[in-house]
Structure formats: C-alpha cells, structure tokens
Homo-oligomer: A and B are copies of this chain.
C-alpha cells in the first residue's frame, strides 16, 4: 500500500463531487443545519436533511452517503441517527460521524457509544479533545470547542482507528487523517478565524461525506475534503483581511470559494505531508 497522494489526485476528487453531485443525507445539529446544506451545495453536492423515524431509512435508501452530527442531540434525534446507521450499514454506503462536544456531558458520551455499538462509521472527524474522549482518554471538553492540542490526540486517534478499522480525522491548526492501513496525512492549511464561525468543522464533516460518496478510498476522500476546506479557508481569510473584513464576511466567502476554487489555486496553496504511522 503506497501512501503517496498527489495534489492532482485530491483535485480530481473535488471535480468528481462537482460532476456527480452526490446526494448526502445529513442528520445534523440545529445550529449548523443551514450552513452545512449551503456548504454541500457550494461544493457541488446535493444535501438532504431528514430525521423522522418514519422516513430516515427510506432517505438513506436513496442517498450516497450518511453524515451524523450530535451537536444538539436529544433522544429523538439519537434514535433517528441509530435507525439511519442501521440502514446505511445494510446498504454499505459510507457513514461519517462528528461527535460534537464529546466529553462535555455524560449523555454525549453515552450517545456516541450507542452509535459506535450500532455500526462502526467509515470516518470519524472531530477536534482533539473530542477524539481523545471518544477513544476513552480522560479529558475535559470545554463546551464544543477543543481543550486539547492536536498532538495529544494522535495516540487516541490510533486507538480509535484500531477500534473502527476506519478513518479518523483530528482537525486543528494541522489536520491529521489516519486509517487502518497505517496511512497518515497531515494538512497545514486553514486559518484560526475559521474557528470563529460556527459550523465550519461540521461542514468539514459534511464535505467528507460528499467526497466519500464519489471516492471509494475513504482515507483519500477525507484528505481531499479537508484539503479543499483548508485551502478555501486560507484563501478566503487572506482576502477578508486585505479588505478589512471579519469573520461574518468570511462565513460567506468560504461558500464562494467552495464553489469557485480552481485547480491552480488549490494545488499552489496545498500543504500536505503523507507518511506511514
């Protein structure tokens, strides 16, 4: 298994999302539900949001990927996620899990464990303290923002990869994407301002779903999605700063760049390292 990955490989995945416009079923949180839909549309995917127990399995039945995000969880929505997970597992479509706020409350931890016991997701994407908590490390999450450094989370990410046999993405100033074939990608794009907009991390998760729908190598798909968002965020933040604008404008510019990003800008900005772990 080579761990080589060219910028042009990642760009071809960006183009595949734009061309095939995969239908991505999201059961996500109430804060980011609109921004996630707009992020998917801007990137060329087709979002659908549905949570009624009566229809989640049917909606999974026409989707190419399932994205679960527990940000504003409650018992009804967790049951929606469980039902969707069972259906996705039967159909074999990729599932991406964002365990928002893992560690903040016992209920979040129990709900994540319930989902992991239902079926193992293809990809887990979270910040450092969430990954540590999901892997079982003792860490105190501060609300939904990370209280741990990314490097602290690498051992936990490896533990989690071994449990899920899937892909784990720890996002932060550098994003780390690991899989069970011991491939390890590091992406150093993005900008701190992206953490000052709600839902950017959740949109990353949604984009990973869209990329997994068109690229069967889930590790590469995750790298491509995170690379796109990282470059988009970096380019957009630079433009905002030059114009004296702030994080409100950045939120909108991210959508513009997701739609308009070109191969040349993408490959010129990409900061990617790949190695075995």
**Would you call B248 and A54 a contact (CB within 8 A)?**
no
Closest residue of B by beta carbon distance from A35: B34
| Residues of chain B within 8 A of A254, CB atoms compared | 248
A5 to chain B, nearest CB (A): 27
Known: A50-B101, A106-B58. A256 touches B252 (CB 8 A): no
Copies of the chain in the assembly: 3
A41 to chain B, nearest CB (A): 5
Q: Give CA–CA (A52, B107) in the complex, Å.
A: 9
| Residues of chain B within 8 A of A199, CB atoms compared | 34, 37
**Would you call A75 and B52 a contact (CB within 8 A)?**
yes
| Residues of chain B within 8 A of A249, CB atoms compared | 252-253, 255-256
Interface size on A, residues (CB 8 A): 63
Secondary structure class of chain A's binding surface, majority of residues = mixed
| Residues of chain B within 8 A of A212, CB atoms compared | none
**Would you call B42 and A246 a contact (CB within 8 A)?**
yes
| Residues of chain B within 8 A of A145, CB atoms compared | 46
Select which of B51, B53, B246, B257 is within 8 A of A72 by beta carbon.
B51
Q: Give CA–CA (A24, B198) in the complex, Å.
A: 14
**At the interface, yes or no: A172 with Cβ under 8 Å from chain B?**
no
**Would you call A62 and B142 a contact (CB within 8 A)?**
yes
**Would you call A47 and B247 a contact (CB within 8 A)?**
no
Chain B interface: which of A25-33, A115-123, A128-136? A25-33
**At the interface, yes or no: A223 with Cβ under 8 Å from chain B?**
no
| Residues of chain B within 8 A of A104, CB atoms compared | 48, 50, 55, 58-59, 62
**Would you call B260 and A256 a contact (CB within 8 A)?**
no
**At the interface, yes or no: A16 with Cβ under 8 Å from chain B?**
no
Select which of B34, B75, B255 is within 8 A of A34 by beta carbon.
B34
26 A–B pairs (Cβ distance < 8 Å), ordered by A: A23-B143, A30-B30, A30-B33, A31-B37, A31-B49, A41-B197, A42-B196, A42-B246, A42-B248, A46-B142, A47-B198, A48-B101, A54-B74, A54-B105, A55-B73, A55-B107, A55-B108, A59-B105, A196-B259, A245-B256, A246-B259, A247-B255, A248-B251, A248-B258, A249-B252, A249-B255
Mark A residues whose CB is within 8 Å of B. Answer: 23, 25, 29-35, 37-38, 41-42, 46-55, 58-59, 62-63, 71-76, 101, 104-108, 142-145, 196-199, 244-249, 251-260
